[in-house]
Amino acid sequence: MNRLDYDLCSIQEARILIENGRDAQRMLASFSQDRLDDIVAAMAEAVYPHAKELALLSAEETGFGRWEDKYIKDIFASRYVCRHMKGMKAVGIIAEDAEKKTLDIGIPVGVITALPPCTSPVSTTVYNALIAIKSGNAIIFSPHPRAQKVIGRTLDILIDAGIKAGMPECAVEYLRTVTLSGTKEMIYHKDTSLILITSVPRLLPLVHASGKPAIYGGPGNGPAFIEKTADVKKAVRDIVFSRTFDNGIISAAEQSIVAEECIAEDVRQELKHQGAYFLNEEETETIGKALFHHDGSINLQYVGRPAAEIASMNGIAVPAGTTVLISEQKYADLCNPYAREKLCPVLAFYVERDWRNACEKCIELLCNKGLGNMLVIHSQNEEVIREFALKKPVSRVLVNTPATVGGMGATTNLFPAFTLGLGAAGGTITSDNVSPMNLINIRKVGYGVRNLGELVQDITGTGQMQQRTNPAQIMDRMRNEQEKAAVSGLIEEIVSELKKQGIYGGDR
């Protein structure tokens, strides 16, 4: 009997992909920004007509979310991201200061290993590929097993268009034999320069253990605070839209509502008007137990399901047109399922006496595995908005906008992105909406503009700027003995360091 070891096949394939990517990237590194932009434009233009087909395939293969909303995300990734990057300089000379005589040169990091999610497989894959090529990098994908077919189809379209536009073969590729062993080989390979991981938390320990630089767009547990000056009707409309978009599978979506006590009843009534169903105590317990397994892991059976379907699956009758399920809560500890990230249209509802108490409640919620992602505030009080922005452990504070589309840059002027950095609080190297600028190193060029004597005079503020030939002459010209003693140590330290580095060899 012939037997095939898929793990070994996957490992070998991973090595070949990364090494071919390394060779392709060396060619890409010689391309001008204009040439890279032409390839990016061709790839984006090629995938755009397939957006609906890919959205349908994504919903069918993963079983998550609504294809109509995935269609919107796919269009956003292919058209809007490409358009937004037009004119952006990521390679070559990207900045010059003629007055200070400095240059910034963008250098691609090399080969990127990308780990896209099953929740937004097409849009994330398209966006990752475009920003990688824009910045002169090769990018190799390990598709999520639950979205392997649609990610492969998406990449086939992008690769074909890229090569026709002049992209080196193997600059964009993907693992066909997907196993954990093969993915690990890609992550650990010596030629992998950076790991780009979006909403695949189970792979995060592997990524961290590799010691490689990583950009992680991970889970969110972002609350939405409705302050007393807010336009309640608009705030509720934004939250319901955001929480139901793609049936709530986007990590950026609001997970809880925190309302100021004086307007809490108005918020409740508006939520009901917009289709929210408030669970009673028994229903709250039933849904809470259903959303997570006993070990605390999320129950995939409910991920990306409509609110009415979730209720029906648990024997709860809700009115036709129910948009979200809401449970009123008081506590935000990790044992409370409603105080965690829920990848479906279910919300917790908290009431706090004033904005200061609401501020503390939001921090409690964010500490439940939501550090570094985002928070939303609905308010017209600029002072309160700024207090929230200053004190929250998040990378993004959104104001008077839906979290889902605001976070990705659709309704805000943030960079349009599907990988939202969590910063140090979330265990990653950037807090940005990840752009091509996060995929480059910046080489600094500085021209000499002063000599050592001028530096010392600038530090000490003595006399007019004069040419100095060596430290001894500087000391001789200082008349004040006290000043001489204070500066002599500094000069000796500078000269000693220059000698160690072979820069200072005597009179200059």
The per-residue pLDDT string of the chain (508 residues; one tens digit each, 9 = 90 and over) reads 567 788 999 999 999 999 999 999 999 999 999 999 999 999 999 999 999 999 999 999 999 999 999 999 999 999 999 999 999 999 999 999 999 999 999 999 999 999 999 999 999 999 999 999 999 999 999 999 999 999 999 999 999 999 999 999 999 999 999 999 999 999 999 999 999 999 888 899 999 999 999 999 988 899 999 999 999 999 999 999 999 999 999 999 999 999 999 999 999 999 999 999 999 999 999 999 999 999 889 999 999 999 999 999 999 999 999 999 999 999 998 889 999 999 999 999 999 999 999 999 999 999 888 788 999 999 999 999 999 999 889 999 999 999 999 999 999 999 999 999 999 888 889 999 999 999 999 999 999 988 887 777 777 776 554 454 455 555 555 545 555 666 667 677 777 776 776 665 555 4
* pLDDT attached to residue 234: 98
* pLDDT attached to residue 453: 77
Equal CATH topology for 6-218+436-444 and 223-414: no
Instruction: Report residue 21 as tokens.
Output: 């990517």
Residue boundaries of the structural domains of the chain: 6-218+436-444, 223-414
- Cβ atoms 368, 350 nearer than 8 A: no
Sequence letter at residue 152: G
CATH of domain 223-414: 3.40.309.10
* pLDDT attached to residue 465: 45
DSSP β-bridge partners for residue 258: 225, 350
* pLDDT attached to residue 168: 98
Triad 382, 232, 316: Cα angle to 5° = 135
- Topology of domain 6-218+436-444 in CATH is Aldehyde Dehydrogenase; Chain A, domain 1 (3.40.605)
Please give the helix or strand (H or E) that residue 355 lies within, else none. helix 355-366
pLDDT tens by residue, 7-28: 999 999 999 999 999 999 999 9
* pLDDT attached to residue 468: 47
Instruction: Report residue 171 as tokens.
Output: 């600059």
> Counting Cβ atoms within 10 Å, is residue 142 exposed (0-12), middle (13-18) or buried (19+)?
buried
* pTM, entire model: 0.88
* pLDDT attached to residue 170: 98
CB half-sphere exposure, 463, CA atoms < 13 A: 16
Instruction: Report residue 153 as tokens.
Output: 């189809």
Q: What is the DSSP string of 449-483?
A: ---HHHHHHHHHT-SS-----SHHHHHHT---HHH
Name the residue among 254, 259, 257, 260 with its Cα closest to residue 222: 254
Q: Cα(493)–Cα(425) distance, rounded to whole angstroms? A: 38
* pLDDT attached to residue 508: 41
Instruction: Report residue 409 as tokens.
Output: 């840059």
DSSP β-bridge partners for residue 105: 93, 443
* pLDDT attached to residue 505: 57
Q: Cα(313)–Cα(315) distance, rounded to whole angstroms? A: 6
